[in-house]
């Protein structure tokens, strides 16, 4: 009797331990090891019409003193060297509202990008190849940066929702975040005119 009870306890304990282990889980690579310009990504971007990441435009600007790599290859960008007017969109590949609004952002950029530049940041996304492929599929031609480690979190460009926007005016005033989820060029245009106080 005692032996069968002991065997039963061992069996139960084994089940508990095994169930605690669970099925193997796929884990993302740590942000510091995320390659945002792998050879296949560079080749993919080269075949697209995506613009190069912006070069330094000023010194001691308003934006966070954070340097981010260009998604798919290109020159890294110190955000503090950028000047306005500028619209910054933070997104990531798995975000459904981001996916739904990107065609509208792409269309806005083609129509008004020479007046109000648009810069996308693939944020806290450790699968940048997927993000780049989707952005190209959605017609994005504005430049994209990558922030897989969330370096902007904790700065004045922290966000809690995706997609989110920040707006840098010509005189260096930063506003935002404003939660996105826009569906048309008209909605994007109205938001930008309101936030930057300009007429397009």
- How many CB atoms lie under 10 A from the CB of residue 104? 20
Mean pLDDT of the chain: 87
- Given this model, what pLDDT does residue 115 score? 96
More reliable by pLDDT, 52 or 14: 52
Q: Please report which confidence band the pLDDT of residue 59 belongs to, taking 50, 70 and 90 as the band edges.
A: confident
- Structure tokens given for 151: 């370096």
Q: Which token pair is 107?
A: 């269309």
Which residues lie below 8 Å from residue 62, measured CB to CB, with a gap of 6+?
A: 80, 84, 168, 172, 173, 174
Whether the pLDDT of residue 172 is over 90: the answer is: yes
Q: Comparing C-alpha atoms, which of 196, 186, 187 is closest to residue 163? A: 187
Q: Are 141 and 106 in contact (CB under 8 A)?
A: yes
Average pLDDT over residues 18-32: 49
pLDDT at 50: 97
Q: Is the pLDDT of residue 24 over 50?
A: no
Identify the CATH assignment for 51-196 out of 3.40.30.10, 3.30.2270.10, 3.50.50.60, 3.40.50.720.
3.40.30.10
pTM: 0.84
Which value, to the nearest 10 degrees, does the dihedral of the CA atoms of residues 179, 184, 187, 191 take? 50
Choose among 157, 168, 163: nearest CA to 140. Answer: 163
pLDDT for residue 70 is more than 50: yes
pLDDT at res. 33: 81
Is residue 12 pLDDT above 80, yes or no?
A: no
Determine the average pLDDT of the residues in 45-65: 93
CA dihedral 60, 121, 148, 152 (to 10 degrees): 40
CA dihedral 29, 122, 137, 48 (to 10 degrees): -100
What are φ and ψ of residue 136, in 5° steps? -65, -40
């Amino acid at each position: 009797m005692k032996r069968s009870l002991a065997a039963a306890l061992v069996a139960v304990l084994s089940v508990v331990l095994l169930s605690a282990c669970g099925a193997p889980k796929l884990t993302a690579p740590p942000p510091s090891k995320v390659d945002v310009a792998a050879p296949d990504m560079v080749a993919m971007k080269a075949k697209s019409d995506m613009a190069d990441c912006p070069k330094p435009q000023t010194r001691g600007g308003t934006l966070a003193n954070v340097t981010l790599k260009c998604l798919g290859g290109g020159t890294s960008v110190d955000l503090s060297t950028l000047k306005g007017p500028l619209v910054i969109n933070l997104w990531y590949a798995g975000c459904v509202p981001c996916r739904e609004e990107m065609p509208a952002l792409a269309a806005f950029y083609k129509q008004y990008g020479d007046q109000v530049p648009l810069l996308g940041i693939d944020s806290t996304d450790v699968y940048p190849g997927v993000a780049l492929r989707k952005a190209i599929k959605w017609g994005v031609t504005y430049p994209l940066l990558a922030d897989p480690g969330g370096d902007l979190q904790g700065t004045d460009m922290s966000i809690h929702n995706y997609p989110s926007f920040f707006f840098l005016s010509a005189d260096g005033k930063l506003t935002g975040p404003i939660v996105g989820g826009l569906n048309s060029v008209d909605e994007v245009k109205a938001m930008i005119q309101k936030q930057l106080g300009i007429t397009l």
